[in-house]
Each structure stands twice: as C-alpha cells, then as structure tokens.
C-alpha cells in the first residue's frame, strides 16, 4: 500500500514518462491509459458536458476530442499547477477549444459547481483519482444529488495509492451507498512483463443519490 503524495510527486516526469505528459497527446498515450479512456468514452456522449476531477495533464479531454468528437463544454480541475499548464497547452495544440482547465481542489466541488454550472448539472468523470486521496468518501459525498458519475479506480497497488480495489465488492462497499444503480465492471488495462500477468482496472457508472 502506498501513501498520499503531494503535487511535486506527480510533476516528476520519471513517474509516468515524459511522453505521457507532453503534447501532442495523440503520440503520448500509454497502453493502459488508452484502455481506460476507451471504457470512459463508451459511456459518454459527444454533447455531454463534463467536469473532470483530477484531470492531470488533460489527456482525457484530448482523447475524447479525437475518439468521440466531444464538442460540449469540458472543464478539468487539478491541484497541480504545472499539470494544468500542460493541459491547457496540450488541448490548445490539439484544437480542443471547449476544454478549460483550472487549478482547484476536488474538495471544493460544491463551490466549483455553483460557479460554473449554476443552472445545470455536468457529468462528473474522475479517472484514477480517488485512490490517490485520503478524503475520497468526503469528495464523493459532496457531489450533489442527481449528477451522473463515471469513475475509474485500479485493481492494483502503487506507491501513490492510498487504497486499491482488487474486487468489485471492495468498490461497492466503499462507494455503493452514495449512488443509485451503481454499475461496476472490471476490464484489462495493461500487461506486466515483469510479473507476467494482466493488470485490471474498474469502471463505475452511477447517479448520485
């Protein structure tokens, strides 16, 4: 089991590789992220407004722009200013003019929604974020009722993971009480040559109660 890491940890390009962070993103995707984003893209519509919690370097926005021609409003937030700068630079280079990125914390979700979506509700997407934070349940609990959520979390451990979810029931036990009709599915996300085995992630879709 890992521990909570601050923003500086994720700014070290050796953590995920320089190509992962650098535009153009279409040449920077890693195999595992393509697998994850394909699962997310399957449950999103091109005209669906999206709030991406923990957006990192903004590669999900760029992926959806290319994969499903997502043209609706897309807002990404992350506590990491250098990553937000990369998100802005990369999506501008990709031509995704509807994607906007801000340095904010997911713990400020009610204020963010009130400021940017006062008269409507976006779909909230959080890809590989909840396992990194201490207050994950507080973040989920702060999501207003009626919002559709698309969440991916890993089945594997990592030095930056505060928790991980090897079984589907681990997810339903932790988050199930917050959602109506929470559907969880495991999918193959990568292959570990060192361990000689496949790696799996989970995608969760539900409506906040």
| Edge-to-edge order in the sheet of strand 148-154 | 99-103, 74-78, 50-53, 123-127, 148-154, 197-208, 179-192
pTM of the model: 0.89
Give percent of the chain with pLDDT exceeding 90: 58
Where along the chain do its domains lie? 7-208
What average pLDDT does the chain have? 86
Residue with more model confidence, 122 or 63: 122
Task: Please give the Cα distance from 57 to 48 (Å, whole number).
Answer: 21
Task: Please give the Cα distance from 125 to 99 (Å, whole number).
Answer: 14
Give pLDDT, residue 72.
94
DSSP per residue, 11-42: H-TTTT-HHHHSSSGGGT--HHHHHHHHHHHH
Chain segment 125-164, per-residue pLDDT in tens = 999 999 999 999 999 999 999 999 999 999 888 788 899 9
3-class SS of residue 186: strand
Chain segment 53-104, per-residue pLDDT in tens = 999 889 899 889 988 999 999 999 999 998 899 889 889 888 888 999 999 9
> Which CATH architecture describes the domain 7-208?
3-Layer(aba) Sandwich (3.40)
pLDDT at position 42 over 80: yes
């Amino acid at each position: 089991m890992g521990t909570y890491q601050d923003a500086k940890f994720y700014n070290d390009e050796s953590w995920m590789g320089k190509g992962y962070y650098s535009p153009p993103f279409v040449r920077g995707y890693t195999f595992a992220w393509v697998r994850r984003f394909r699962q997310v893209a399957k449950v999103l519509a091109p005209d669906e407004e999206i709030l991406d919690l923990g957006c990192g370097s903004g590669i999900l926005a760029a992926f959806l722009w290319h994969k499903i021609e997502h043209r609706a409003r897309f807002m990404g937030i992350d506590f990491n200013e250098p990553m937000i700068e990369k998100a802005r630079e990369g999506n501008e280079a990709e031509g995704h003019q509807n994607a906007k990125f801000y340095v904010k914390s997911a713990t400020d979700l009610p204020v963010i929604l009130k400021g940017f979506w006062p008269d409507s509700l976006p779909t909230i997407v959080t890809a590989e974020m909840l396992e990194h934070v201490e207050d994950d349940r507080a973040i989920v609990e702060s999501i207003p009722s009626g919002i559709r959520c698309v969440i991916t979390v890993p089945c594997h451990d990592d030095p930056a993971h505060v928790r991980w979810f090897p079984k589907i029931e681990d997810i339903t036990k932790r988050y199930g009480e917050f959602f109506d009709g929470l559907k969880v599915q495991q999918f193959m996300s990568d292959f570990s040559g060192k361990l000689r085995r496949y790696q799996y992630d989970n995608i969760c879709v539900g409506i906040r109660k």
